[in-house]
Each structure stands twice: as C-alpha cells, then as structure tokens.
Structure 1
C-alpha cells in the first residue's frame, strides 16, 4: 500500500515521547522530588499539553520504577530504591560492555574524535563542578558506541534502565569518582583506536562499575543489621 501522507501520527508520537522525556528528566534531576505527589492535570498545565500524553508518560515511568501508583490513589515519585538501582546498574554495565564489544571494529576516526571531544567537555564540567554538563557530556561519550553498535534492543534496554541509575549517579560526579572517569574514558578511546576488543570491553565495564561504590548493600544498613 502507498506510504500515508498524513504527518499526524508522527507528531503524536513525538509529543508522547517528548512528554515522557521531560518528566523522566525532571525526576532524575530532582525537579520532581522523591515522594512528591504528581497529578496529571498539574503536569499537563506545566508542560502545556493535554492530560493524555501525561498519563501515558506516567504509565511508562511506572514500568521503569520512577513513579509509583495504585488504583484510585495518588501517583508519587518513587523513592530511590537501592535494590532496584543495583539491579538496573548491573544491566546498564552489561549493555555498555556489549555496545563497546560490538562497536570496536566499526568505529571510525570521526567516531573516536567525537568520543575525545565529549570527554574533554566532561573533564571541563567535572573541574567546574557542573553536574548537568558532566552528565550531558558523559551521555554523549557513551552514546557513540551505542549508536555505532547498531543494536536497537541494547539501546532500548539502556533507555529504560539508565534513568534509574542516573538518579544516584548525580552524586558520583560530585566525588573523586568523576575525575577518575575522565581517565577511564581516555583509556577506552585508546583501546577502541587499537581495535583491542577485550581491553575496550573491560574498560567500559570498569567505567560503569565505579558507580557500584555509591550503591550501599541493603544488608549493610543499620536498620537491617538491627533486625538480624
């Protein structure tokens, strides 16, 4: 059949995704704080859209654990659940390792330059203690391998679970671990440039594994120890 000429479905899809991304980012950066009640009418007014895309976005955010809702009750921004962050982190580490493994042989000189440029911006943001800029540059850096891998399933999984990790990762870039990541990024670029798949995969894992130090083991929490 002929390709439809009406652009309406595309606009609807873009609006839905845009609303979801705005709300997701507001939760990750703390604009919408943990425990805060979120109402679709208020969110719709804030974003200048109807309630329908907001409701759809909240359902998707519920699937990733960023909001909690119960039938007939309020929807609230989820508290940071360390067990969920730990699970999501393990998935994110594995996916970035896979992305680098699949991308190494395909990375061009231009791709490697994009990674170096992003790491330079990342280093400058860390020095300036600009968390927002650091996170943006870090995303740009890792996005190169994800895009070059061409693995859509991998990208979809990361899109779902990375925001869960990012809520805690904001603390990382205010610590020494942020500076360490600059060096790890540089090592990753060089491993990729050398087409050393194993070394690149190992560095990619190490880069994301650093965040594990910021995820306390629930079993080590005082309240859990008292209940033993």
Structure 2
C-alpha cells in the first residue's frame, strides 16, 4: 500500500537527546545533587541506553555548565551559585526582549488569547501557592513568544539559559512574584497594539526584576 502523501511520521528522539534531557531535568530539580559524582554505566542502565549516548549527553551538559568533567577522574554535577543570577538573567532578558520585539508584528489575536489563558493559569497557581504549576505556566508563556521569533539562535541560547534559571528556581534563588502576572498582561496589551518597543521593554524588565529582588532580600 502506498504511503499517504500527507502522512507525517512521529518525531524520533535520539538516545543522546533523551539522555541529555533526562539528566538535565534531574540536575535542575535536584534529583542529582550538586557535587554528586555521575557514573555513566549507572545512568545508562537507568535510562535503558548504551554508555555512548550517556557520554555524549554528559559532554554537552559539561559545555552548558551543568556538569564538570575531570579527565581520568570522573564527572560530577556542578554547584548552584546564587550569584549567577546576575550572569544568567541579563543575556536571557535581552533575548526575551528581542523575541518579543520580533513577535509583536506577526502575533495573531488567537495566540494572544492562548497566552492570556496561560497567564490566567499562572496567576491562579501562583496565588494558590502551587509554585511548580506556576513555574511551568510561566515557562510555557515565554517559550511561545520565543518560538514566534522564528530564530533558532535565539531559541537555542534562550533554552540553555532558561534551564539554568529553572535550576535557580528550584534552589529558591529566584522566587516567582505576583508582579509577573501584571507584566505578562502588559506584554499582551503591547502585542495587541503591535508596539514592538513596549513589548520588548516589558519582557526585559520582567526578567531583570528578579536580580533586584534577590539582592534586596540578601541585605
């Protein structure tokens, strides 16, 4: 039987990508603790893959700063440094602002409505104290805007920085605040007005505000 012309085969995830995503998630949520030594044989067994994709995944995680590799010694999870907030958020804020500026002229009202619904779910979870759900909704909100920029260089770099931000959230270095609800809505209003500059400015402020909040609470 001929394959239908409109058939789309399911996207397959390579063993390396699957290993990378899972190990990164375990590092972000603290399942794998800072300074914990990683054994590629144990990870391979846990994930049901060979040691080769595990090693490839660890090499990429090393490049991205989630693990440290010591030749002839071993690999361990990197420490969480709260001070890194001032190194991670500025470039991420710039990328998020650029994505918002690129999205503003092309975003549809339908997508704005979807984002508004996500923000409502974010607000509901945040007010209820459901931090995990709020965090996921916040991530979804910003990822849609990143995708609208249709720039792989922005999305790939932002994804890596966002993963470090998630780790800081789990480490309680960054605390979600209700101010974000209003800022999200202001971004959406700027989108409705097709105001690129305003959308970008608010998006950047939304990310950088966490730096001031962190240092004010440290005093």
Q: Same fold (TM over 0.5)?
A: yes
Partner of 2:168: 168
Cα distance change on mapping 1:216 and 1:45 into 2, 3 Å: farther
Post-superposition offset of 1:85: 4.0
Partner of 2:135: 135
Does structure 2 conserve the Cα–Cα contact (< 8 Å) formed by 1:114 and 1:144? Answer: no
Structure 2: which 5+ runs fail to align?
Answer: 1-10
Aligned counterparts of 1:18 and 1:125: Cα–Cα separation in 2:
29
Spell out the pairing of 1:1-228 with structure 2 (5 A cutoff).
11=12, 14-82=14-82, 84-170=84-170, 171=172, 175=175, 177-213=176-212, 216=215
Aligned counterparts of 1:131 and 1:54: Cα–Cα separation in 2:
31
Cα distance change on mapping 1:36 and 1:214 into 2, 3 Å: farther
Q: What SS does the aligned partner of 1:178 have?
A: coil
Partner of 2:8: none
Post-superposition offset of 1:74: 2.2
> What TM-score does the superposition give when structure 1 sets the normalisation length?
0.83
Does structure 2 conserve the Cα–Cα contact (< 8 Å) formed by 1:97 and 1:204? Answer: yes
Cα distance change on mapping 1:129 and 1:42 into 2, 3 Å: farther
Post-superposition offset of 1:172: 6.3
Structure 1: which 5+ runs fail to align?
Answer: 1-9, 222-228
> What TM-score does the superposition give when structure 2 sets the normalisation length?
0.86
Deviation string for 1:161-180 (max 9, x for gaps)?
A: 2212221134267x4x4211
Q: What SS does the aligned partner of 2:110 have?
A: helix
